Structure 1
Amino acid sequence: MGNSRSQSGPRFCSQFLPEEQAEIDGLFDALSSEKQRPDTSPRSFSLKALKSHLGEALPPEMVTRLYDGMRSLDLPGKAKGPSESVSREQFTMFLSHLLKGSSEEKSLVIMKMISATEGPVKAREVQKFTEDLVGSVVHVLNYRQELRGWTQKRGPGPPPGVQVLAAQLFSEMELRGSEELPGPQQLDRDCDRAVIEDWVFRAPHVATFLSVVVHRGFLLPRLSLDLAPLVPERHVDQERVFESILDVPSVIYVNAHLPREQRHRWHLLFSSELHGHSFAQLCGRITHQGPCVLLLEDRDGHVFGGFASCSWEVKPQFQGDDRCFLFSTSPRMAVYTSTGYNDHYMYLNHGQQTIPNGLGMGGQHNYFGLWVDVDFGKGHSKAKPKCTTYHSPQLSAQEDFRFEKMEVWAVSEAPGSQQAQRNRSILAVDPEAQALLEIIGRPRHSQGLQDAPEDE
């Protein structure tokens, strides 16, 4: 199973498999001035060499953090404190701790990347490190052209979602006693190794993002990294350019909370930009399509939505199960899961006179945690103080809001979807017509009479 790390031996032992260690050694040889000879002392490399090797794959501030983290690691039997350059053993130890290590080993590396000095670091230093880390993930995935169909929001400076996701990750850190201090003073609190280790355990994305930075920055093919659960493949039927409501950090955040088997591919079902402001179109395009992610952006810039764990159906009863949740991505990122108080997870209705017509998630009639009215472009998010189903606060800027942008993404193949594409009727081509028939209670008599699949 490869080398194992010894606590008592005088030398550090790598946790990499032999073929992985060979790749690490080759990378070090490329970084150092020349290959190591048996009769010489171990070679080392400088910050300049690291910057030259990585080029523009990572932001300069992250390259410096990586270098400082490497050269600040104390080796068994060697002098304490940062070295003038990075040795082979420091390089291997750094990558071993970061990619294969425990929370304790990862926290050691993070502390060194934040500050080369011994002892605790300030909370504000951790906050800045988190922003650099999230920004580096978006940067390197974009540089390596591995955003899987998603696009960055255009504009000066880092994408807005970078700071929002960084703030969410930073909020996972528990600073004991800081709740009694005003916000700015909390950032002056000391964070020791125990705090950082607990943070790495609480926020798994910290370690995942560090792995992405190293894997995609250095390009290490033998150390496999599956990006599919991190960034889902985006599929849009239309040929025209389409920019989603979500930026890359927001996609990563929402996707991480989906069931594991549904994190690999998002397929656009409905967009108000592409399909118009029509509730009938919405119903026709999202029903019977399997689990979906619903997104809204209100006129005040708040972005929020919900995950529907089951296919939407037009009917006067609540539907769904406790895997459903509500979420927000702007101005802050948060996920709100089922409380078990009731089963009002999903609701979709149209054409009724005595009960509400529209799409809702959580709460109760006329008081939903998230509601899109049949009069498309209007909705509400009510919570005084919290939504009973999801314990979510008010998601929109205003309780009764108006919106211009709405999207619904399927996150798994609908049952029989491939065969259905081959056997679609004329009505199925027009979702609005199909939805209108369902609304007025007219059955589709040709349903079930189409040609049977060949394999049956």
Structure 2
Amino acid sequence: MGNSGSSSDDPRYSAAARAFTPKGLDDLRSLHASLAAQSETNGQYVSPDVFKAYIGIDGPFGDRIFDLVSQKRKDRRLTFEDLVIAKGTYEKGTKQEIEEFVFQILDVSDDGIVGRSDLEVVLTSMFNNLFHEDGSELKQIEAFIDSANLTSDSMSLEDFQKWCAHVPAVRKYLGSLLKPSDSGTQIPKFLIPDNIDRGQILLTKEYAWHIGGALSHHDLKEWKLLYHSGVHGQSFNTFLGHMIKAPTVLVIKDKEGCIYGGYASQPWERHPDFYGDMKSFIFQLYPKAASFRPTGANHNIQWCAVGFSSESIPNGIGFGGKINHLGLFVSANFDQGHTFECTTFGSPSLSKTTRIYPETIECWGVVPAAGDDRPEGLKGTVLDRFKEDRHMLNMVGLANSSE
């Protein structure tokens, strides 16, 4: 096959080419020509090294991606037709076709089985690419793998699809490898007051990336540390006094060593009942890494009560479930709480035990992106925000899994 793109007899190329506009094909032709020029092949094909540099992935994982994109010919040549066929499936295919292609990427050993060792290679490569780690974050890689809840030594396509629902950041990344200009790997910039020692901070860039996988880009510009229990004290009133009218990320480390929390799309304000919308979710960070979005079973999203004397209105903050049996709850004294299996988010208990004793609590404000008029962080009606949320889920191929 040559580089013209118009004389190929391969029916796969003809079918894939029809998925692109003339401009889209011209853009792909220009991309291939640029990469082929760097490969010094007289414009005929792209070499593995140049392709891997383009996608930013080296090593066995990069080799696996090149092998799939070059149609497994093993001739170490990526033609223009190959590029169109791969992108036609990866970017323009049905949800099932895209999922199957991405799932194949995980089979680094090319033995027809996606095993734990394959996942370790893929996640290590991802972390190295995103965070410039060299494998030193093994415990966080294990946290992602453990969230797959594998019942055997291998992962099926169905297992992969379920895993993607809980690790959307991984799915976003795997779904963006051939689109480096739109990588979906944005990590927020941390804004931390000068009087707070960074060594005290629970939230790491790896944790933020995981949480951000379930958020849209305008929520991933800057996160400002609003409250830290080790600095501001364990006071509910102090906590509320530091809040802003914007979405927040609550992170808790308990005395069992577990780290988890929730994204609150609505400000933390005093209410006698549940409130909030479908953009909120809860998550685990360690020893498992998983996100749990609303299932639609009920609308018991956020809880924020203080100063109520009735036993039917527990004072504290939390997410999901029902009164006195929340998916995540911290009492107004910030010294204890609970986490139960929760139908609101389809989540398990987030810690090792249902009764929790927080060691550190911190809360981050999502700073609105420039030009975003949410001051107030609450753009549009609840229905508008739900539609926006559904659109984001569709973009990463996860809409059905959250229902």
Q: Would you call these one fold, judging by a TM-score over 0.5?
A: yes
Matched, 1:104 2:97: yes
State the secondary structure of the residue aligned to 2:143: helix
Deviation for aligned residue 1:284: 0.9
Q: Match for 1:374 among 332, 346, 371?
A: 332
Count of residues paired in the alignment: 357
Gaps of 5+ in 1: 75-80, 144-151, 172-181, 217-223, 419-456
Counterparts of 1:69 and 1:291, CA distance in 2? 40
Counterparts of 1:131 and 1:256, CA distance in 2? 19
Deviation for aligned residue 1:67: 3.9
Q: Match for 1:26 among 30, 34, 43?
A: 34
Structure 1 equivalent of residue 42 of structure 2? 36
Matched, 1:86 2:77: yes
Native 8 Å contact 1:262 1:412 kept in 2: yes
Q: Match for 1:136 among 125, 138, 161?
A: 125
Counterparts of 1:387 and 1:399, CA distance in 2? 12
Deviation for aligned residue 1:412: 5.2
Counterparts of 2:264 and 2:354, CA distance in 1? 22
Deviation for aligned residue 1:376: 2.6
Gaps of 5+ in 2: 378-403
State the secondary structure of the residue aligned to 2:239: helix
CA RMSD of aligned residues (A): 4.4
Any residues of structure 2 matched to 1:287-326 within 5 Å, and which? 288-326=244-282
Counterparts of 2:163 and 2:103, CA distance in 1? 9
Q: Which has the higher contact order (CA 8 A, sep 6+)?
A: 2
Structure 2 equivalent of residue 210 of structure 1? 174
Native 8 Å contact 1:161 1:248 kept in 2: no
Native 8 Å contact 1:337 1:390 kept in 2: yes
Deviation for aligned residue 1:30: 1.2
Any residues of structure 2 matched to 1:5-20 within 5 Å, and which? 9=11, 16-20=24-28
State the secondary structure of the residue aligned to 1:86: coil
Per-residue CA deviations over 1:235-281 (Å, capped at 9, x if unaligned) read 41413553643444433332233467545443322222443333332
Native 8 Å contact 2:320 2:344 kept in 1: yes
TM-score, structure 2 normalization: 0.69
Deviation for aligned residue 1:328: 1.9
Counterparts of 2:265 and 2:305, CA distance in 1? 17
Q: Which has the larger radius of gyration?
A: 1
Deviation for aligned residue 1:226: 5.7
State the secondary structure of the residue aligned to 2:337: strand
Native 8 Å contact 2:316 2:332 kept in 1: yes
Structure 2 equivalent of residue 165 of structure 1? 144
Deviation for aligned residue 1:25: 1.7
Counterparts of 1:162 and 1:261, CA distance in 2? 27
Counterparts of 2:289 and 2:331, CA distance in 1? 24
Deviation for aligned residue 1:139: 2.0
Instruction: Describe the shift of the 1:197–1:36 C-alpha distance in structure 2 as closer, same or farther (beyond 3 A).
Output: farther
State the secondary structure of the residue aligned to 2:353: coil
Counterparts of 1:328 and 1:404, CA distance in 2? 16
Structure 1 equivalent of residue 242 of structure 2? 285
State the secondary structure of the residue aligned to 2:67: helix
Counterparts of 1:44 and 1:257, CA distance in 2? 34
Deviation for aligned residue 1:296: 0.8
Structure 1 equivalent of residue 358 of structure 2? 403
State the secondary structure of the residue aligned to 1:411: strand
Instruction: Describe the shift of the 1:231–1:274 C-alpha distance in structure 2 as closer, same or farther (beyond 3 A).
Output: farther
Deviation for aligned residue 1:26: 1.5
Structure 1 equivalent of residue 396 of structure 2? none
TM-score, structure 1 normalization: 0.62
